[in-house]
Structure 1
Amino acid sequence: MSTEIWTILSILKWSEKFLREKGVAAAKHGAECLLAFVLGCQRLDLYLRFDQPLTTTERAAYKKLLLRRASREPLQYITGEAWFMSEKFKVSLHTLIPRYDTEILAETVLRYLDQAELIVDIGAGSGILAVTFAKRGKKVLALDISPEALAVAKANAAAHQAVDKIEFICADLLAGVNIPPVRGVFLVSNPPYISPAEYAALEPEVREHEPRLALLAQNDGLEFYQKILAQSGAVSDLKGVFFEVGHRQAGAVAKLLQDRFQIPAQIVRDLGGKERVVYTLL
């Protein structure tokens, strides 16, 4: 960037072109989010301040973040925050970035929330699901094998005033977890479901930055569905199992659920018609 006067509008135009040339998707949105983050304002506020020049300090801070995004580091890891169900959450390199797919999972569980006293969030990550259910008054067990991920989940629970409803447990799925006897338990999980072949073809933002532990699964991506269902027999008064599923996995996961419970599983599609969630109510 030259020493000419850079306004918000001119720097955004330059940045969008720069990011697009680096192969970054949604270049305009990314440039706007990063600049709003540097300026401490909302992204839409930029449109009211197009003629405002940036200070040398602001330009230097913005350039540093822009270069990180150009290297294909995810926007959410750069800012340390992401949105889920219209709420802001902290994220880190130890947690997956929340996606719309998981909102379909949350919305599906919310439709039946009154049927369970306890929600067990298996693979809690940043705690987006645990917090979502806790804020609706449910007791939640948030399980994750990563202590670093659980630290982020605890911070999010505190930020959303949901700590008193969530118990955080470092565990490998359900192994060794003492689930209290209550009236109705839901098992909810967005487990790793990317097969090794699919993993190699992921975008750099995902493959090179998001935690491999939370993405990769063997057995054509079915490994963790199989393990969770094998462990589910230890849960007393189980009332439902809800899974987010990967591309083309819904049929296979539905069969796993039907074989386990002898009840036909239900499949939920997103607004684009893609199968995103498979669940069984007992």
Structure 2
Amino acid sequence: MAESWTVRALLTWARDWLANKGVESPRLDAELLLAHALSCSRTKLYVDFDKPLSTAELARVKPLLKRRGQREPVAYILGVREFYGRPFRVRPGVFIPRPETELLVQLAVEAVRPESRVLDLCAGSGAVGVTIAAELPEARVDLVETSPEAAATARENAEALAPGRVRVFAGDLFAALPEQVRYEAVVANPPYVPEKDRARLAPEIVAHEPHQALFAEEGGLAVIRRIVAGAGDWLVPGGFLGVEIDPSLVPQVRDLCARAGFTNVRIVKDLAGLDRHVVGTLS
């Protein structure tokens, strides 16, 4: 890096450097990291485009760029990921919520009454369940997450974004729940990537995100199978089931839902046109 840098020059250099490291969105990532280092918005960067950066400011941004160059996800570097318009805390060891999962929230919110009880399994950072609670201020939402670290993060997000209306339990799916109750909806973004697909995933995912939140045995079906089979014992008649899946699993998951007593089963595509969510109603 040169002796004197403006915002413009640093963003240009960082974009090219990150691109050479194989980063998919080098300009956006450079802007996010510099804005974070300067404690300002991305818009402010362009207002101050020709402003010289101090030695202290350069010292703050350099380690952030280095981490991104090593393909660490931006969300871990910043400690936050936006989901459904809200900031969710994330940290290493906690699955980073994806934009396609926002559709699962929308489907659930449209399917239930405002005062419903909702169960979110494989909750990770709490993005799905906490967002449902924030969107439905009268709803009561329970979250279950197997990782104690992720469960702790989900509690932080719940207190920040839907205080007093979300309970978080650490444990294995339905067994983690303290009492038998009936929910109007059960939603889940479980691990569903088949192990054979590991090689096609980006280094940001394989080298940094928790594998137990990504990969599942039985070709990606292991956790989904347990959720679908057990959901009927926890749903009210006519209750909503929504599960995010890998597109390759559509026939198997549709069959699992039918055998578990769900009707009106349909597959919902994400914004990329991929089969991403299976939804159904308990008969």
Which TM class, normalised by the smaller chain length? over 0.9
| Structure 1 unaligned blocks of 5 or more | none
Q: Which moved more, 1:163-172 or 1:23-32?
A: 163-172
Tell me the equivalent position of 2:76: 77
In the aligned structure 2, how far is the partner of 1:200 from the partner of 1:271? 24
Q: Which moved more, 1:136-145 or 1:111-120?
A: 111-120
Pairs within 5 Å for 1:1-282:
1-3=1-3, 5-114=4-113, 117-135=116-134, 136-137=136-137, 138-160=139-161, 162-182=162-182, 184-235=183-234, 237=236, 239-261=239-261, 263-282=263-282
TM-score under structure 2 normalisation? 0.94
In the aligned structure 2, how far is the partner of 1:103 from the partner of 1:236? 22
Q: What amino acid is aligned across from residue 244 of structure 2 in structure 1?
A: E
Q: Note closer, same or farther for the CA distance 1:50–1:210 as it changes in structure 2 (3 Å cut).
A: same
Q: Note closer, same or farther for the CA distance 1:23–1:236 as it changes in structure 2 (3 Å cut).
A: closer
- Poorly superposed stretches of 4+, deviation over 6 Å: none
Count of residues in correspondence between the two structures: 279
Q: Note closer, same or farther for the CA distance 1:61–1:176 as it changes in structure 2 (3 Å cut).
A: closer
Aligned 8 A contact 1:84 1:98 in 2: yes
Q: CA deviation at 1:275?
A: 1.2
Q: CA deviation at 1:181?
A: 3.4
Q: Which has the higher strand share?
A: 2
SS in structure 2 of the partner of residue 174 of structure 1: helix
* RMSD of Structure 2 on Structure 1 (CA): 1.6
TM-score under structure 1 normalisation? 0.94
| Structure 2 unaligned blocks of 5 or more | none
Aligned 8 A contact 2:90 2:96 in 1: yes
Q: CA deviation at 1:270?
A: 2.0
In the aligned structure 2, how far is the partner of 1:32 from the partner of 1:166? 34
Q: CA deviation at 1:180?
A: 4.4
Q: CA deviation at 1:185?
A: 2.6
Percent identical residues? 35
Q: What amino acid is aligned across from residue 74 of structure 1 in structure 2?
A: P
In the aligned structure 2, how far is the partner of 1:35 from the partner of 1:90? 19
Aligned 8 A contact 1:116 1:186 in 2: no
Q: What amino acid is aligned across from residue 252 of structure 1 in structure 2?
A: Q
Q: CA deviation at 1:262?
A: 5.1
In the aligned structure 2, how far is the partner of 1:116 from the partner of 1:186? 11
Aligned 8 A contact 2:125 2:151 in 1: yes
Aligned 8 A contact 1:196 1:218 in 2: yes
